[in-house]
Structure 1
């Protein structure tokens, strides 16, 4: 029992330290995942902890289990609407992007390390795919709001590119160990089965899980266990059938997350904690596995590989892959830069070690060093690069918190929390007056919280800065309500700077707009609506923040409606502000 309790103590201590380390990650500007890795490395054989851990099988088992949970959680939070703008380009990056990146990097690695070309290509294939755990964690916790096209492209790519990376690694290992058995037909069939079965099983199983959630009546805590256990079943079963379990569990999460039911909110909250636990455990274990002294022995090779990967191989692959989709140069640059590497490359690097590939220790140490550099340099600059490359959009006013209260199998009330800011239109007013202005009879005030205590409301109650108001309101008007609680001066300044000083009805005739403001348009554009004119010029599905120049004026997509329809357009005048460079 002493040994078991010592193990529990060790595991609990490492996780405890990792969670405490998260409090300083924002201050240091370092990705939290990097701190988890650091805790594992410090606890390892070369660190103060002195723990000797070299069980590659256990590390692979933990990593794959954790990645399945992380991908399931990422799918649950991916909106189907994002597929409208990024499915095709992300699919290209998930296939061609991995092949192109690995091919260019493989040539460089073969020359740099002076090894067999198959070994150089294997190393490139290991680090050729982006990592879902790193991308989901860093993009969603970076504090910056990206335009939907860029964020969706990165997230869908990272969730779907593992099959191609696994295919390349397995094929190259087979070529190194059994060159007489390797064939193009076998590789092609592996690709079809990995991608095809993964997608098919994921979609079907996701639909089954979503139906079960809607129909079963369980204790609240069991819904998350149902989704978690179902996700692991999907992951394992797909792998046993020679499909991609990673792709299947991600798509299953997408299907479940986009079919709201009475258990959705509770599942998301529980899965958020499980995803963080999975990331912490996985990166701490991988940190324990690596030997910093061995890794430092190949530091300069890893540095050269990381620089070539980041500045040459991935940018070329991204530029070629996204060329047909009319991405702007700043968007291409950001997608290239945020090609984050994380747990997947390290997990793939373990595979050649377990299979006995010659020089596999070299592959593992170089791949791990590349991951560290990626997290340290690229991961730490995610928000800075977004602002510098101008792919961010102003954050929209939103509720502080949102809860769902289900009153039937298919009926739910949205309970929204708003905080009163100084200088907002809500300050000094009665809660019911604000509710009436926000949405009439469809919006109702249910609670006023002041200094953490529930406030009894009377006829003379007036809201003060810092108060929290809870409203029952339809989700579609949540943004409009939020504007009543936001300091109007700050919002107007930010919106005018980005979107322009005037709001244009997208259904208005472009010719009338040109006549009024003197916009420079083509003759055939004068008879189009502003919406159709912008859609034609953009040549791609529009997202908030898309802009086009009409003479000295700038038109910017301000709001998107249901079905991907442009709902509002901002107009920036040349005399008041210079157009923002893209």
Structure 2
């Protein structure tokens, strides 16, 4: 017994350390890290080092546990100020968009692969969920308009809930109930999941702000435990636990909690462990010898999903939303291409396997191949697609997470901004920025050397700025820097307020009023 435990610990820690080291390697090579994790699982599996593993039930259970942690981290690190303008669009993508995607893929798979309707729709349901881990890990490395990033992150955090419900319903045997029963159940579980998440998140926020825990390390544990509690509470009342986790995470993550930075850092570390463990486990479960017959149907299903189902679901979801229409065709095209698939579809494919549904084994192999292909093609080309569509935002400020107590006590954030080629920030002096009270440029990095700027320091193309801003003025500071980047030091004179412009569409300039803005 002790020997088995020692071997398990040896293998587990070795895999974890190799996976951590592989993150840096995959970044240098430009490969998504999830592929490296899957490869590690395949290498140590039955076709490699010979570790046998074929327990679909255990994979599903552990996969759900990992998804809870990953979705919780996504909610905790999401900013409400960025989510609020795109909430309606993201919710529509996660519900109506999912329904459109399932229907389109189901019809095409039924016709192309000659599968029965239930199995064809199951293909569509399993593949209709974008992966939160893949989206969070990929998009936060790119310089994109905040509206696009927030839309994709919120969609990936919310669409797991309806998709899981659909997969469970389609994997079960026909119940003989009325046609309207399932839609009503899905609607109830989604609404109840939101309510549970709000209640748990709100109660947890009050408790953490008022509690005087004896050790700082207990706050991160309590915060993550509250998100898990949201899942359990949702499941207890037959609500969507995944949606409850995401909502609770957003509520907690946007509250001014004690040791907030430590909470976010702890959640980020847990999410990495969950991703590594999940992808390695899925690599273990797959049998590489059975994947040869899955390539042809995977390409058929993938083509239907990428070229028709996803673009159509984005277009239909954007129609009733002002935020969706404001994205323009460029933003909608990027949303269509950036619907990343990762571990979630593979985990969902284990549900029909665990229930021994007809065709479940082939479904798992097809989904596995499809996720690998999509990850290589989509995640590897997102930066190029963004540049091709003209929606890159090199002058957008990005938040830097640092574990420093003074910033936490001051309720401040540290932002990083680059003076890109063509930015009107070049040539502007520090005192001409007119940042709001509570925000200040604290460091300029130029040609690899950093220095503290003075009021007469003149910015140059290629400079990197570090800006400290209190929570109250963070958004104002970002808008001011965005305005000057577009219109220069006289941004206020030209009516530029720095609000985010729809991707690919320049802001309409207001006619000058005849007198300069005092802030300029």
> What is the TM-score with the length of structure 1 in the denominator?
0.75
Task: Give the whole-Å Cα distance in 1 for the aligned partners of 2:518 and 2:286.
Answer: 52
State whether residues 404 and 414 of structure 1, in contact with CA within 8 Å, keep that contact through their aligned partners in structure 2.
Answer: no
CA displacement, residues 31-86 of structure 1 (integer Å, 9 cap, x when unaligned): 11121111111221123x22111111221121111110111110011111223321
- The aligned counterpart of 1:32 is 33
Task: Give the whole-Å Cα distance in 1 for the aligned partners of 2:298 and 2:440.
Answer: 59
Q: 2:152 aligns with which of 154, 172, 180?
A: 154
Verify: 1:184 aligned to 2:179, yes or no.
yes
Q: 1:392-471 maps to which residues of 2 (within 5 A)?
A: 392-396=392-396, 402=402, 405=405, 412=410, 414=412
Aligned to 2:298, the other structure's residue is in SS state: helix
- The aligned counterpart of 1:198 is 193
Verify: 1:270 aligned to 2:266, yes or no.
yes
- The aligned counterpart of 2:50 is 50
Verify: 1:284 aligned to 2:280, yes or no.
yes
State whether residues 94 and 160 of structure 1, in contact with CA within 8 Å, keep that contact through their aligned partners in structure 2.
Answer: yes
State whether residues 546 and 556 of structure 1, in contact with CA within 8 Å, keep that contact through their aligned partners in structure 2.
Answer: no
Q: CA deviation at 1:420?
A: 12
Task: Give the whole-Å Cα distance in 1 for the aligned partners of 2:108 and 2:491.
Answer: 51
Q: CA deviation at 1:27?
A: 2.2
- The aligned counterpart of 2:8 is 7
Larger radius of gyration, structure 1 or 2?
Answer: 1
- The aligned counterpart of 1:505 is 492
- The aligned counterpart of 1:543 is 500
Aligned to 1:103, the other structure's residue is in SS state: helix
Q: CA deviation at 1:17?
A: 1.2
Task: Give the whole-Å Cα distance in 2 for the aligned partners of 1:240 and 1:353.
Answer: 25
- The aligned counterpart of 1:369 is 369
Q: 1:235 aligns with which of 231, 242, 245?
A: 231
Task: Give the whole-Å Cα distance in 2 for the aligned partners of 1:569 and 1:296.
Answer: 64
Q: CA deviation at 1:299?
A: 0.9
- The aligned counterpart of 1:60 is 60
Task: Give the whole-Å Cα distance in 2 for the aligned partners of 1:70 and 1:238.
Answer: 17
State whether residues 261 and 402 of structure 2, in contact with CA within 8 Å, keep that contact through their aligned partners in structure 1.
Answer: no
Q: 1:276-425 maps to which residues of 2 (within 5 A)?
A: 276-325=272-321, 326=325, 327-396=327-396, 402=402, 405=405, 412=410, 414=412
Aligned to 2:319, the other structure's residue is in SS state: helix
* RMSD value, Cα: 4.3
Q: CA, structure 1 residues 32+395, in 2 after alignment: closer, same or farther (shift >3 Å)?
A: farther
Task: Give the whole-Å Cα distance in 1 for the aligned partners of 2:15 and 2:234.
Answer: 32
Task: Give the whole-Å Cα distance in 1 for the aligned partners of 2:233 and 2:476.
Answer: 45
Task: Give the whole-Å Cα distance in 2 for the aligned partners of 1:420 and 1:304.
Answer: 42
Structure 2 gap ranges (5+): 420-429, 446-450, 458-463, 511-516
State whether residues 144 and 391 of structure 2, in contact with CA within 8 Å, keep that contact through their aligned partners in structure 1.
Answer: yes
Task: Give the whole-Å Cα distance in 2 for the aligned partners of 1:440 and 1:505.
Answer: 14
State whether residues 443 and 466 of structure 2, in contact with CA within 8 Å, keep that contact through their aligned partners in structure 1.
Answer: yes
State whether residues 399 and 479 of structure 1, in contact with CA within 8 Å, keep that contact through their aligned partners in structure 2.
Answer: no
Q: CA deviation at 1:367?
A: 1.4
Q: CA, structure 1 residues 50+250, in 2 after alignment: closer, same or farther (shift >3 Å)?
A: same
Q: CA deviation at 1:188?
A: 2.1
Q: CA deviation at 1:288?
A: 0.8
Verify: 1:249 aligned to 2:236, yes or no.
no
Q: CA deviation at 1:349?
A: 0.9
Q: CA, structure 1 residues 404+216, in 2 after alignment: closer, same or farther (shift >3 Å)?
A: farther
Q: CA deviation at 1:133?
A: 1.6
Aligned to 2:412, the other structure's residue is in SS state: strand
Task: Give the whole-Å Cα distance in 1 for the aligned partners of 2:56 and 2:45.
Answer: 14
Q: CA deviation at 1:123?
A: 1.5
Q: CA deviation at 1:324?
A: 3.0
State whether residues 135 and 154 of structure 1, in contact with CA within 8 Å, keep that contact through their aligned partners in structure 2.
Answer: yes
Aligned to 1:297, the other structure's residue is in SS state: helix
CA displacement, residues 268-319 of structure 1 (integer Å, 9 cap, x when unaligned): 1111111111111111111111112212221111112112211111111211
- The aligned counterpart of 1:173 is 171
Q: Count residues in correspondence.
A: 497
Aligned to 1:40, the other structure's residue is in SS state: helix
Aligned to 1:298, the other structure's residue is in SS state: helix
CA displacement, residues 438-461 of structure 1 (integer Å, 9 cap, x when unaligned): 889978999999xxxxx9x9xxxx
CA displacement, residues 417-470 of structure 1 (integer Å, 9 cap, x when unaligned): 98999xxxxxxxxxxxx8999889978999999xxxxx9x9xxxx9xxxxx999
State whether residues 90 and 156 of structure 1, in contact with CA within 8 Å, keep that contact through their aligned partners in structure 2.
Answer: yes
- The aligned counterpart of 2:75 is 75
**Higher-RCO chain (CA-CA 8 Å, sequence separation at least 6):** 2
> What is the TM-score with the length of structure 2 in the denominator?
0.83
State whether residues 70 and 271 of structure 2, in contact with CA within 8 Å, keep that contact through their aligned partners in structure 1.
Answer: yes
Aligned to 2:193, the other structure's residue is in SS state: helix
CA displacement, residues 78-103 of structure 1 (integer Å, 9 cap, x when unaligned): 11122332111111111111111111
Q: CA, structure 1 residues 271+295, in 2 after alignment: closer, same or farther (shift >3 Å)?
A: same
Aligned to 1:324, the other structure's residue is in SS state: coil
Q: 2:217 aligns with which of 218, 221, 225?
A: 221
Q: CA deviation at 1:26?
A: 1.9
State whether residues 101 and 309 of structure 2, in contact with CA within 8 Å, keep that contact through their aligned partners in structure 1.
Answer: yes
Structure 1 gap ranges (5+): 422-433, 450-454, 463-467, 509-529, 535-541, 549-553, 559-566, 571-582
- The aligned counterpart of 1:110 is 110
Q: CA deviation at 1:225?
A: 0.6
